[in-house]
Amino acid sequence: MLNHRIRIFSSLLIAFVIVKIFANFTDVKNLFTNFKFPSFKFGTSESSLTANQIGNSDGSVDFTQISPAPTQPIPTSGAGLINQTPTSPAVTLVKAGSTNIPIQIPTSIPNPTKIPKPTKIPKPTATPAPPPITLDLRPGTNLAGIFQEVSRRMCFPPALLMAFNTEESWGFDYNTSATIIKIYNTYGWWINGTGNPCVGFGYHTATGIVPSDSVDAGTRCQNPIPGDDQGIMGIFQISQWEQDVSRKNTISTLPNNIDRRVLFDNALIFASITKNRLTTTPKSCTDWTDDEIRTVAEKHHGSCLITENSSGGNYCNDILRLYKQYR
C-alpha cells in the first residue's frame, strides 16, 4: 500500500517537473524568437546629444537618433597625429523638437585674402617731334601760324615772338594777308623776283643795300645807319653770324636749306639763339617769367636803354609789355 502511494506521488512529481520544464522552455524559445539585437553605429559623437535626445520616454535607448560624427580621427593621449588631408567641414544634424539644427564644425582656417598692390602711375607718352621741313614753302599761312610752328619745334612762346617782331619791324603783323605771307615765307623769293627785298627785309640793315645774291642787288632800301655791316636781315634782324652759329640747332627742322630772309627761317633762328641766352631752361614752352623775358630782351638789344633815338625808352619794358599784350 505504501509502495503504491510512493509510486503515485513519484509519478505526480515527475509530471509536475516535466510540465514546469516544458513551460520554462517555451518562454525561453519565445524570448529568443522575439529578441532583436540593437543597431549599433560606431564612431558617433555622444557629446553632441543631450540626455533627452538619447533616451526615449519609456527609458529605452534609440540609437537611430545618433548622427555620424566627422570622419577625422581623434588623437588619443600620448599618441602622435598622423598626417591627415583636410576635408570639408562636417555638418551634424540633431533633433531639437521638430527642427533640425545644423552644427558647423570647421576643419581649417581659410587663408586671408591678399591685398592687391597699387599699380604704378603710368608715365606720360612723350610728344613725337614734328617731321623735318623739306619744301621751299614753309608752314604757316599767317604770322600767328608761323610762330605756332616755330614754338612746336623750339619750345618758345609765340607771344614773345610777336612782341619782338612788333618792336623790331613794322612790315608784317597778324593782319597781313595769306597771299603776302606765302610770298615771303617761301625759300628763294629774292632769287626769282616774286617778292620785293625792300618789303621783305631782304637788305642789309646797316647799309640799306640789297645784297649781291638778290635779283635787285645794289638797290638801296633805306639810308645807312652807323655801325659795321653784319649782314642783318629779316623780320627779327638776324645777322649772318647768328644764322651760321645756330645751324646745329635748326638743321633737324630745315635739313636742306635755310635763309634769314624767309619768315619761318628767321623766326626759327631767332628762337634758337634767344633761348640759348638764358642760363637755365624755361619750365614752359608758352609762358615765361618776367625775369626771363627781360634777360633775353636785354641781351638781344645790348641794353635795356634805347639809344637809337631821343625817346629815352626802355627796350626790356617794351618787350615785356608787348608779350603780355599778345599772350
- Which amino acid does the sequence have at 86? P
Give the three-state DSSP class for 14.
Answer: helix
pLDDT at 256: 97
pLDDT at 226: 86
pLDDT at 7: 75
Say which residues have a Cβ less than 8 Å from residue 62's Cβ, sequence separation at least 6. 54, 55, 56
First-last CA distance in the chain: 163
C-alpha span between 183 and 180 (Å, rounded): 5
Give residue for cell 509502495.
3
Say which residues have a Cβ less than 8 Å from residue 77's Cβ, sequence separation at least 6. none
Q: Which residues in the chain land under pLDDT 70?
A: 1-4, 16-17, 19-110, 112, 124, 126, 308-311
pLDDT at 116: 73
Concatenating the DSSP letter of every residue in 290-327 gives HHHHHHHHHHHHSSSB--SSTT--BHHHHHHHHHHHH-
303-311, long-range: CB within 8 Å, 24+ apart, which pairs? none
Sign of the alpha-carbon dihedral angle for 222, 226, 228, 234: negative
Do the bridges between strand 90-96 and strand 99-105 make them parallel or antiparallel, or are there none, so unpaired?
A: antiparallel
- Beta-bridge partner residues of 314: 305
C-alpha span between 326 and 323 (Å, rounded): 5
Q: What backbone torsions phi and psi does residue 71 show, to the nearest 5 degrees?
A: -80, 0
pLDDT at 40: 47
- Cβ-based neighbour number of residue 172 at 10 Å: 21
